[in-house]
Structure 1
């Protein structure tokens, strides 16, 4: 089983300066690398405390590559509907080279109305734009003299440079949240699956649907499921809750604020999202802990939580969100150290790390 760290900044200049934020997360990245963890993941968002400190995950991961030796790097996720595929493929290949072939690329559809409005990209029809962009990026990374003519972009005889360091290209992952068809489509396309269970018991039929579709369309490949969830490990359960709960509540507050525009937004491509903010506003840190979507406790308790999650979901890896609600500094470093020293060995002793997700189109 693989483990890593996952970042989704939810700070603002009023709560933490960007200089302090990046200093803390780079410290955590170096610790993760030195501790033998498998991944660093960073998410793309704009214009809001929810994610706004990282408009460019690939830029962030290039900086991480320069400070680490072996840990793999994954965008979690980049938002292709806001990028031209030639630029995105070129940036991917560049970071793949800078990291000496350690990059993996996670894509997500984007779901915040204020981002679509600012970039003047319509939400309706965004699924088709999303899939067309990923397909074009795949072609640009694996072919030369690529020509595309779509309703969203067109270009002729494009050969991006540099060429990918990994062959045929860095592995692709795609995020899904709650729509069964999304899980099935990711399996059909042969990508790895990224999930972020938050505030409710995860519906395991969704990952089953992904695996079934993957097996049906890529019988020679291997489906991969990676989960991202908050983590705080402390010497006792009580201390862990005291550390985690204020930050988990702050994370939920910032996330709910980013979802305010969903109170009045309606989109055919996001049929289940209208009113999502009102749902998140009812959640508390206790809810996240009770549903097993935040792992908080002593090393023994966290190990039990991982075992329970694995019994239900069977994920190939878990990437720990360690920057939620402004959590950081010495408390976050100590939490990571306890995980690496006392929890992780229970799940890796005598095992061989799984290969990265395949590069299936």
Structure 2
């Protein structure tokens, strides 16, 4: 298992300034590299405290690249339906060059109605737009003189600059939440899978379906699964709960607020999303801890929780969400330090350093084509 940090800002000027937030997460990114973690991941959102402090994950990762030398830089995720593929591919290649080949690209379909409305992109048909854009980005990163003609965009003879450092291109990941067909399709396309177990249950058979589909269509390669989970480690379970619960409650409050736009929205491409704000709004911090959508406790408790999670999911990468609810400063740093010093050593059988044929090693310019 590899480890990293996953950031999804859920604060606003009324709770934390953007400058303070960026200072904290950049500092945590430097800590992660020094501690030997493998990834920093940042998510794209707009117009709301839920993610609004990061409209451009690639801009954030360029800043991380300037302050680090080894750690992998993952978008988690960019929202391709809001971007032209030439723009997105060019920006990916630029950050890949700035970081000397450390970028990995996570894509997500986007799911917040107010974002689609603001960009004047219809939700119905977004699945087809998503696949067309990701495919075009793939072609632009791996080919020159590219022609595309789709219902969503068209261009001719396009060769993006700079060319990517990693060959044939930076690795791709795609996020899935609850639709079985999405997990199967990601495996069929041969991408890595990003999951964020949330709510009161997560069905590990969805991950099994992804792996089976991947191996059926790409028997010469291995599927990869990365999971992002809010994590807080303290000396005792009681102390961890005392620190984490107010921030988990804030996390749920901001998330459910963003989802209220689903109260009056329905889309054929987003089955079962209508009314989702009520479901998240009914959850509590305790629910997140009990059902495993947040990992909170002493080092021993966190090791046990991760072990149980791994029995079901067998993730290749575990990404710690350390900024949930606007958590930052000394509390976030202490939690990360406790994870590195007291949790990772107890997971030593599952944790290893970069292998010689992995991205981030001397062979990074020949990164995997997932």
Q: TM-score range by the shorter chain?
A: over 0.9
Unpaired runs of 5+ residues, structure 2, are 360-366
Which residue number in structure 2 is paired with residue 120 of structure 1? 120
Partner of residue 359, structure 1: 369
Tell me, what secondary structure is at the counterpart of 1:117?
helix
Partner residue, 2:85: 85
Per-residue CA shift, 1:196-244, capped at 9, x if unaligned?
Answer: 0012222011001100110110000110000001000001100000000
Query: TM-score when scaled to structure 1?
Result: 0.98
What is the root-mean-square deviation of aligned Cα atoms in Å? 1.1
In the alignment, what sits opposite 1:43? Answer: 43
CA displacement at 1:358 relative to structure 2? 3.0
Superposition pairs of residues 1-361 of structure 1, within 5 angstroms: 1-348=1-348, 351-353=352-354, 355-356=358-359, 358-360=368-370
User: What runs of 5+ residues in structure 1 fail to find an aligned partner?
Assistant: none
SS state of the match for residue 319, structure 1? strand
Q: CA deviation at 1:352?
A: 5.0
Q: What CA distance in whole angstroms lies between the structure 2 residues aligned with 1:20 and 1:123?
A: 34
**Separation in 2 of the partners of 1:37 and 1:110?**
28
Q: For the residues of structure 2 that align with 1:348 and 1:76, how far apart are their CA atoms?
A: 26
What's the CA shift string for 1:293-330, capped at 9, x where partnerless?
Answer: 10100111101111110011111111011111110000
Q: Equivalents in 2 of 1:348, 1:44: separation in Å?
A: 32
Question: In structure 1, what is the Cα distance between the partners aligned to 2:85 and 2:18?
Answer: 29
Matched residues, number: 360
Q: Supply the distance in 2 between the matched residues of 1:333 and 1:352 (Cα, whole angstroms).
A: 22
Distance 1:193 1:100, change over 3 A: same
Superposed displacement of residue 346, structure 1? 2.2
Name the SS of the counterpart of 1:259 in structure 2: helix
Given that 1:42 and 1:75 are in contact with CA atoms closer than 8 Å, whether structure 2 keeps it comes out as yes
Retained in 2: the 8 A contact 1:221–1:358? no
Give 1:341 deviation, angstroms: 0.8
1:81-100: CA deviation from partner (whole Å, max 9, x where unpaired): 00000000000000001111
**Secondary structure in 2 matching 1:61:** helix
Q: Secondary structure at the match of 1:269?
A: coil
The secondary structure found in structure 2 opposite 1:12 is coil
Q: Is the 8 A contact 2:89 2:140 kept in 1?
A: yes
Note if contact 2:36-2:353 (Cα within 8 Å) is conserved in structure 1. Answer: no
Task: Specify the SS of the correspondent of 2:269.
Answer: helix
Aligned-partner Cα distance in 2 for 1:195–1:139: 25
Contact 2:194 2:225 (C-alpha < 8 Å) held by counterparts:
yes
The separation in 2 between residues aligned to 1:346 and 1:141, in whole angstroms, is: 40
TM-score (structure 2 length as normaliser): 0.96
Contact 1:222 1:358 (8 Å CA) reproduced: no
State the secondary structure of the residue aligned to 2:5: strand
Distance 1:210 1:183 in 2: 5
Instruction: Report the Cα offset of residue 353 of structure 1.
Output: 4.3
